[in-house]
Amino acid sequence: MSGQALLPPVDRGVDAWKFVISSLCLELMVWGMTSAFGIFQNYYESHPPFNRYSSVQISAIGTLCSGFLIAEGLFVIGFYRSYPDWIKPLMWVSFGMATLALVLASFAESLGVLIVTQGCLFGIFGGLLYYPTIVWLPEWFVERRGLAAGIIFGGNGAGGAIFPLLLTKLLESVGFRWTLRIFAALFFCVAAPAIYFCRPRIRPVVARPRSVTWIPPLGFTKRPLFWLDFLVSLLQLLGFYAVNVYLPTYARSIGLTSSQGTYALMAFNSSSTVGKILTGWAVDRVPYLMLLCVFGAAGSLAAFVMWGFAGSHLAPFVLFVLVFGAVAGSVTPTWPAACVQISGRQRRYDVSVIFMSLGESMALASVAGPLIAGSLVDKLGLKEQAPWGKFGYAAPTIFVGVSMALSSILAVGTGLARPKME
């Protein structure tokens, strides 16, 4: 019997779904922790010994953590492609270093120590631990890749739904030091078995290239389809991150308590998780550009109608949180299908590299979206009794609605033009 016949089946079987569940756990612990940093930010700003630092200085922790996680992706994948037999050992080393980073952060007395440990070290080693899931996903799933990706990427939203409440309760009861230590223990208990069960379908060949390919071939960037898909993703994610960051602030503006604002963020991320899973199921059956067109249109309507007219009324605000969370955050599960199209009929390019390149839209949006939305608060000067865009959020609402609408229009144009780009 040939070695190929002994391989686990693609798209089905216990081994394939063990890969999905273990990858989901890694996504939950690495990206979920990053998504919940706002809870730490609020605590650090109001409690010693870090309340002597400015909000901008403290935000460097979360910015550097997410920045390293996203920025290192292409380089890490390039290295892992050159040395596939090193991936599993490096996962264990990175797991140990990420756990140690959280423990060391719990002893911090200055902001600099938190920036190095909770920010830089956790971001760097978290990325080294997580990115093998992107490398191995195409080996395990082909026809059901969208569903698998939707489940895995749902870990980010699940972390954003679970961790804010958990971290808030821990910080209030035991302080930041023991919160970080407890989370380090949780990280250890969840990530260790996930690493054990997360493995490639095809056993890596021990090979030593003459030089490490730190930057993999990027010839696909010459294809117009890549840049059109990149722009569609960027426009949708700009709206998503603008709302994600300012949702608790807006909740306080309409009279909700800080705890209720946390619940609103949890509902937003929970809706995003459900949306990603459903999108993953749908993208295996429906053209991904059609889904992006629907997401953009629905997100735009939700912003202009539900958010715009919400005012101090709770019902339309909750409806906006659920609808916008489900559609605006569901772009990432469409990327595996987009990568196949960008790679071309002959599959000349590595789909995991294309995926990480599309992921740079997330890096840009996670920084630019909140900055743009924040700079627009109170800019239109509408009166408080105005029926639309109250509490200074008229301009941010327009920004989010227009961004989503443009993404929908661009998705339609890309779909019409794609046959000419083949």
Residues 400/406/411/414 CA torsion (nearest 10 deg): -150
Asked if domains 14-197 and 219-421 share a fold, the reply is yes
Q: What are the respective helix, strand and coil percentages of the chain, to the nearest 5?
A: 75, 0, 25
- 2 pLDDT higher than 50: no
3-state secondary structure 227-291: HHHHHHHHHHHHHHHHHHHHHHHHHHHCCCCHHHHHHHHHHHHHHHHHHHHHHHHHHCCCCHHHH
161/398: higher pLDDT: 398
For the chain, give every domain's residue range: 14-197, 219-421
Cβ neighbors of 371 (< 8 A, separation 6 or more) are none
The pLDDT value given to residue 389: 67
Q: What is the mean pLDDT of residues 112-131?
A: 94
Nearest to 141 by CA among 304, 329, 309, 333: 333
CA distance 362 to 104: 29
Convert the pLDDT of each residue in 13-48 to its tens digit: 999 999 999 999 999 999 888 877 878 887 888 888
Kind plus residue range of the DSSP H or E element containing 398: helix 394-421
Mean pLDDT, rounded, for 400-421: 90
pTM above 0.85, yes or no: no
More confident residue, 114 or 343: 114
pLDDT at 3 over 70: no
pLDDT score of 89 more than 90: yes
Task: Write the class of the CATH domain 219-421.
Answer: mainly alpha
CATH 3.20.20.100 fits 14-197, yes or no: no
Compute the average pLDDT of residues 57-70: 84
Q: Span 236-261, mean pLDDT?
A: 80
